[in-house]
Structure 1
Amino acid sequence: MRRGGGQDGRVLDVLALSYQGLPYQLKACFLYLGNYPEDFDINAKRLYQLWMAEGFISQEERREDETMMDVAERYMGELAQRCMVQVELQPDEDSIITGNRGFRYCRLHDLVRDLCLSKAKEENFHQVIECGHINQQEHPSSSSMVTSIGGNTCSKIHRLVINLDGNSNFHLFEQEERARHIRTILFFIGDDCDYSFGEQLTRFSKESKFLRLINFDGNPFDRKRKDQKSYQKK
């Protein structure tokens, strides 16, 4: 985490205290935001569904007449009140139809994202892989990342985030028997990415004993808002 000095450092100290004061379930929801690329506008409704699929939203947290989605939105509101996330409300015309203004998108401020990624690293919350980026010196090759995923250093990683851009030649599942501890795979796919992994991913999902959630999200690299698709293993 980039602490630096001056005002930014003081803000980070305050945010770190805010994070420490979060209930356990809100800490998990907050860390999950670190899965998304920088400056990414996160669809709130879709995020709630992922929180629920991950088990972060408990039936026991439901108040009278609340749905699980209501609980997730309440969690988002608590994070926003603590300045841990920036939110955008639904347009007025949508709220007339649904009867609830609600949140439409959320995003992380740069300093908050620094904190989020730092805490995620401490908690071994996820592993992020950049693949197919133009600057290959900054982002390791697919072959080296396959080795690291299969190695002992990642034996406790249960959540994998894969950013695919450009002409990705990424073979995550070459070492399938050594990657079966993964429970969640989140793909962020750029518009110019031509990556075919359907058959391989289908086979892996059927053979894995632990994989429960696969999510596909479009184009984080030019920061357009795209629809998301996900698959939850039964």
Structure 2
Amino acid sequence: MAINKNNQLKALHCCYTAGTGGGKSVAVQYAEMMPKSPCLAIFDPYGDYVYQTGSKLDIGFAGKRVYHYSSRKAFAIAFFDAWGTKRPFRIAYKPAKPSRTEMLWFCELMWHAADGTRRLDVVIEEVAKWCDTTGKEQSALGECLTGGRKFGLVIHTVFQRSTEVPKTVLSQSPYKIIGIQEAKADAKRMAEECSIEIEQIAALEPLTYIKKLPGWGNVEQLDLRNVFN
């Protein structure tokens, strides 16, 4: 059960959306929504953050090793060992058979660990695939999004299509990173969420984004095309 409620904590949840090749995972790492030395847990079903020694690409998380575990027991033990040290860590759960059930188990574990005296960043990749509604998400994921702020949780949700995610994801994420959109419906929804014109989203290129900050129409441009240079 989450402990040490602190209503003074700011809402920092962030969602990241972009079509194929738009650079969602790059934005998660480099959009400056993550501490430089985070306590970080990732639901990484497809191994987007697997570290490869000697690779010229920026594999891992911002070039740092991420420790992956494929069984619930191994991940839970490793996570609580790392969380117990009170030092930064990067750890990921990569279940052998990704599913909504596995994602919700992961979220329940994060909720159980949450502590209002400490920040815990949580990334959930491809969140739309693990949701069964576009309405209100009434699950462990929904609880982390709606109640996590006061217990130190910062939820980072990653998805391709905004029309496929629960409204809870968007409404509870005051920060939004929007990359290229493959469907007009998705571009329209994100334009409405950010109070901007749809043409601003249509003009985006891979690894360029619109960064929505808290406040009506408060946006800025973000360009990560030089990250790998």
Q: TM-score, normalised by structure 1?
A: 0.34
Between structures 1 and 2, the one with greater helix share: 1
Taking CA–CA contacts closer than 8 Å with sequence separation of 6 or more, which of the two structures ends up with the larger relative contact order?
Answer: 2
Q: TM-score, normalised by structure 2?
A: 0.34
